[in-house]
Structure 1
Amino acid sequence: MADITAAHTAPADTDRSDTGVVDRLLSDRTHHIEFNGHLTNHVKHAVVALAGLGVEPERISAYHDNYVKLTPYGFPVEPARRARLTITDDNWLQFLGQRTDFAAYCDFFDRRERELGMPEVLRRYLPHLLPGWVGALQHATIHLGWALDAGNRWMAIEGLAYLAFAHVSCHPERARPADSGHAEEKPKDSLMRIAGFWEENRPELGPWVENLVKDTTAEAVGDIHPELLRSGLQYRIARMLGEGHPLIDATPTWSTAQDPVTSWDDLTYLVTLLYLVEPGDFLLLHLITSLHAMRHIADALPADQRHDAVRYYWTGILGVLFSRGHFPRPRKLAALDSLFDAALDDLEDPRWAREWDWLVARAVEEEEEHNPKLVYVMREMWRRSGGMSLYRVAAGQFTATPELPATFEQPPVE
């Protein structure tokens, strides 16, 4: 698949399915980006993952067709909708995060990309969009970043439109430098310090979060879209980021001083470690697949904007972690870190090639599309890291489709 930005070069992957079938599926415009309200249509993410795993085009096409007929949630995807508005440079920010007219945003970014080219569109619009990267349970970010990974223009247009449509701000206007005493921290140090704070203050922090999300008065909810109240998870994240916390809003020195490439490697290790603390956790898995996306987005940005992507990602994942009302225990984090920090597999050992073949075969059989995505990202990182065992172990920790909350008995709020 072609590189659609001059600034972005996807790593060579000899396993990737190189076929017009994949481009056709990713360029499809017949389905809406969501179904049953705010549930994301994930099918294109699955196509990218399966293609990256080297799955035959016929199987990818069959997976796609089965998903659009009936998703793992038990609903079909919905047909594309017609644009009702005309969005322009003069009004595009007016509808940010209002879940208003995804098709009109697609028309806008399609038109602007034809006029400016993809690199300039990303440079010009992402500074406004990336602070809202957690919207739609991070799936808007995944849609754009995985489109850049695959090199598909139309999917990238959809990703930009979805970021605008589902924008949930990390509130960078509240950001402040972290305390000077933490200036020498690396990402792992920052995470462990915050985990320690939660451990010491768990009796107060847990109830504080629960009381926060229970308050659904108009004054408390503010500009959170009412459809997110049906979600549970998305509402909690939006409410947490809207409220903020000194630890969420603090900008660690490494996020602006360290090479973003190093930061992405460090952060991938950390979110994978978090996933192994609670293996199969649906929400934590999204931190892995969205980081893969953010990395590709940052690579496509001018150098002077790449640190911002790191900062927004850090703020966003803390908002996600705080929103759950609990935090991984520092003792378990430290124990797993000591187990995996220096553990390496020999990339040339046929045992690991066989194990990856098994993992890929399992993933292809999964109706829950988050699992092939997990295997795809973990294998990419296993190779990139020179065979860190952490990624191989995490790749086998599959998730299950969550039960929908009782709020889904109510109709969607359009």
Structure 2
Amino acid sequence: MDTTSGTLDEALSRLHTSGPEFRGYLSNHGPMAVEAMVRNGQAHTVHRWLDAYADKLEDVPAARSRITDANWQQALGDPSRVTDWTRYFTGQVAERPWRELLAEWWPRLLPGIAGAATHPVIRVGHAVRSLLTEGEDAARLAEFAHALGYWGARHLPLPAAVHPTGSATPAEALSALPRIAERPATPLNGYEQLPGTPGWLSTTESLRLPDDPEAAREGLTALVRAATLNYADHGHGNGIMLVHAATAPNAALRTLPALPRDLWVSSFAVAWAAASAITTLYAADTPRPAPDASAATPEEVFERAVAHGNEHAIKFADTALDVAASSADGDTRALSAALNAVELIDPDD
């Protein structure tokens, strides 16, 4: 990532003057999208894109009361305390190394991965990637604090505990998942249907969960790949929402290098549960061919996503490029999935 022009830091500083949500519940994707754009060679488009996107955003919510090491549990999952959470983590980042803070809070926040349709963990993943690849500075550390704060405020566990004990691969388990009965669904009323959806819990628990951290990393990589390719076939169920079945586990995957290895297996397990839930809520019942990407380069695919303009198309293309980079020569299915998002998602949504 080339940040010599300061484009990413400038964009993050602009975005930190706005709240993490707008219209009551929609997530501010700006920090995630601009990090992906700079990362993939589109830094020159960032401020123009942000000029248009910023019109949607709202002011930072008012603070309520101070969160401390002694009372944080009472504020966990309270969206009205989002500014309190941001201030808490901003103070923590100023006092402690960010990796130490992440190691302490990742296992506290991870069970609430479902909150805000998994956007908080995705935002954390982008923040961690920028810190790992480009190093620490004020804007990136501030974004890390904002991302953790958003997760603290929107922390939400799935309505059923998932304990994978089976032998299935991520691709096998993903392909066997059922669908909820009542559609269309919002995340909240969709999550509520999961415990009563026949086969959801048993299929989700059919995944083979390794004990070895490196095997867990490989499993998480396989999950991101399976969810990305699944979007190519089933994204028309809900073009926007299904992208998170891939981008949420990819956020966990990007965070692994900054985490103690003893947290890798649990990260895989929780990311799988989230991907399973989102797939069950939003994947189409039957497959449909995705656009052919055989003549396109990864750079061209990402450029098309940026030209399209929708933040979900941009973030999903970013994940699809990760998958494409690790695919066998000639395998363009991940790029086809990214083009499918461009085709399915309305630029104005």
Same fold by TM (over 0.5)? yes
1:112 aligns with 92
Asked if residue 100 in structure 1 is aligned to residue 86 in structure 2, the reply is no
Asked if residue 162 in structure 1 is aligned to residue 150 in structure 2, the reply is yes
Task: Using the TM superposition, name which of 130-139 and 274-283 deviates more.
Answer: 274-283
Give the counterpart of 1:39 among 19, 26, 30. 26
Separation in 1, partners of 2:281, 2:346: 20
Measured after TM superposition, the shift of residue 94 of structure 1 is 1.0
Q: Normalising by the residue count of structure 1, what TM-score does the alignment of the two structures yield?
A: 0.71
- Of structures 1 and 2, the one scoring higher in RCO (CA 8 A, sep 6+) is 1
Give the counterpart of 2:233 among 271, 274, 277. 277
Contact 1:51 1:60 in 2 (8 A): yes
2:301 aligns with 359
Separation in 1, partners of 2:322, 2:275: 21
Separation in 2, partners of 1:130, 1:311: 10
Equivalences for 1:14-413 in 2 at 5 Å?
Answer: 16-28=2-14, 29-57=16-44, 59-69=45-55, 76-151=56-131, 152-170=140-158, 174-178=161-165, 182-183=166-167, 185-192=168-175, 194-195=176-177, 198=178, 206=180, 209-210=181-182, 232-240=185-193, 246-247=201-202, 250=205, 252-257=207-212, 259-279=215-235, 281-324=239-282, 328-329=285-286, 352=296, 355-387=297-329, 388-397=331-340, 398=342, 399-401=344-346
Gaps of 5+ in 1: 1-12, 70-75, 199-204, 214-230, 346-350, 405-414
Contact 2:232 2:338 in 1 (8 A): no
Gaps of 5+ in 2: 132-139
Measured after TM superposition, the shift of residue 383 of structure 1 is 1.6
Measured after TM superposition, the shift of residue 363 of structure 1 is 2.1
Matched residue type, 1:380: D
User: SS of the residue aligned with 1:27?
Assistant: helix
Which of 1 and 2 has greater Rg?
Answer: 1
Residues 383, 402 of structure 1: alpha-carbon distance in 2 compared, 3 angstrom cutoff:
closer
Separation in 1, partners of 2:99, 2:300: 38
Matched residue type, 2:208: T
Measured after TM superposition, the shift of residue 124 of structure 1 is 0.9
For residues 67-120 of structure 1, what are the alpha-carbon distances to aligned partners after superposition, in whole Å with 9 as ceiling and x for unaligned?
A: 101xxxxxx210113322100111111122221221110111111222221111
Q: Kindly, what percent of the aligned residue pairs are identical? A: 22
Measured after TM superposition, the shift of residue 273 of structure 1 is 2.0
Q: Normalising by the residue count of structure 2, what TM-score does the alignment of the two structures yield?
A: 0.84
Separation in 2, partners of 1:285, 1:18: 31
Q: How many equivalent pairs are there? A: 331
Contact 1:105 1:165 in 2 (8 A): yes
Separation in 2, partners of 1:375, 1:53: 10
Contact 1:274 1:328 in 2 (8 A): no
Contact 2:164 2:209 in 1 (8 A): no
